[in-house]
Amino acid sequence: MGYANIKFPKDSLFLVTGGAGFIGSNLCETILEMGYKVRCLDDLSTGKQENVDMFLSEPDYTFIKGDIKNLDLCIEACQGVDYVLHQAAWGSVPRSVEMPLFYCANNIAGTLNMLEAARQNSVKKFVYASSSSVYGDEPNLPKTEGREGNLLSPYAVSKRCDEEWGKQYTLHYGLDTYGLRYFNVFGRRQDPHGTYAAVIPKFIKQLLNDEQPTINGDGKQSRDFTYIENVIEANLKACAAPHEAAGEAFNIAYGGREYLIDIYYAIAEALNKNIEPKFGPDRIGDIKHSNADISKAKKLLGYYPEYDFKNGLNEAISWYMRNL
C-alpha cells in the first residue's frame, strides 16, 4: 500500500469525523490496523453504525455519537487528539440545491467548529475533505489547483468555504490544515441505496438485482473515479506532510478519465448481465467532465496513488458481490 511505510509517534490519537461513513470508516479501519488510536465522531445522519460495529471490541477505538454543529462537543472530541481527519459533511450536489441552509450550517459552520476545536486543543494536523465540485464551470482539463470557475451548487460553495477557512486557520492560528479535493471516490462500504446514492455502487446493486439502471444525461459525461485506497493514502500522507504544504488544497484522484456509459457496460460485463440502461435528465449542478492534475499532491504530499480505475472497480465489485 502507498501508506505502508508511514510512521507516526507511538500512541498517536486520530479523530475521524464522519467516521461511520464510507470514507471515514475505511480510515478508521486502516489506522487501527496500523496500530494507532482512533476516536470516531459521527451523528449517524448519513453514516451507518454497521460500518463501525466491527471496531467496538478494539481497545484503541472509541465512538462518540455527536453533531459537528455543536462547538462544545467538537472541543471535547478534540481533547488529546494529534491528528484530525475531518470527513463529516453531507454530500450530493442535487440534495444541496434542495437544502441550502442545512448545507451551510453543517458543511461550513460545522467545519469551522472543528477547526476551532482543533486549534484550542493544539492538534498537530487537520486534514479535511474538499471536493472536485469547487472547479465549477471551469472548462479546461485536467483540473488544476488555482484555476477554478463559477460554483454550480450549494455543496460546491460549502467546500470552497471550507478551503478558505482552512487557509485562515493556518495563516492566523498556526494550525496545519490540508484540504483534499476528492474526485468521485468509490469502493467498499459506499452506500448503494437511496435517491442520492453514488453511481458505481448503485449500478452494481441494480444489476445484481436484475433491475434496469437509469443514467442521468447521455452517459458521455466523464469522471476521474478514485478508489478508496488512494484516498486513505492521501489522508495519511497529509498527516505526515511538512508545515510548508499547510494551508493548501490538493487534487486527490488517480489522474484518469472514465465515461459513465463505459463504466456501466464494464460493470454489466463483470456481472455477466445483459441489461441496457435507461437515460434520464441531467442532474442539476453537475459538472460535465472531470479529470485531475495530481502533480501538486505528488510534489508536496508525496501522494502516488497505486490503484487505477480498473483495479479499483474489480475490488469494489468483488466486495459488493460478497456483501449485498
Beta-carbon contacts of residue 296 (< 8 Å; ≥ 6 apart): 144, 145, 248, 250, 251
Establish whether 155 is a catalytic residue: yes
Q: Which amino acid is at 208?
A: L
Catalytic residue, chosen from 103, 155, 182, 227, is 155
Report d(CA 288, CA 290) in Å as an integer: 7
**How far apart are alpha carbons 100 and 2 in whole angstroms?**
37
Compute the distance between CA of residue 220 and CA of residue 147 in angstroms, rounded to an integer: 24
Chain-centre distance of CA 299, in angstroms? 21
HSE of 195, CA atoms in CB hemisphere, 13 A = 7
SS in 3 state form for 157-183? Answer: HHHHHHHHHHHHHHHHHCCEEEEEEEC
C-alpha–C-alpha distance, residues 181 and 278, integer Å = 31
Interatomic CA distance for residues 281 and 234, integer angstroms: 34
What b/e sequence results for 36-60 when a residue is b if at least 16 CB atoms lie within 10 Å of its CB, and e otherwise? bbbbbbbbeebbeeebbeebeeeee
Does residue 309 contact residue 258 with C-beta atoms inside 8 Å?
yes
Give the integer Cα–Cα distance in Å for 207 and 211. Answer: 6
Among candidate residues 161, 177, 189, 162, the one with its CA nearest the CA of residue 238 = 177
Report the 10 Å Cβ neighbour count for 237.
25
SS (H, E, C) 17-76: ECCCCHHHHHHHHHHHHCCCEEEEEECCCCCCHHHCHHHCCCCCEEEEECCCCCHHHHHH
> Which sequence positions are flagged as catalytic?
155
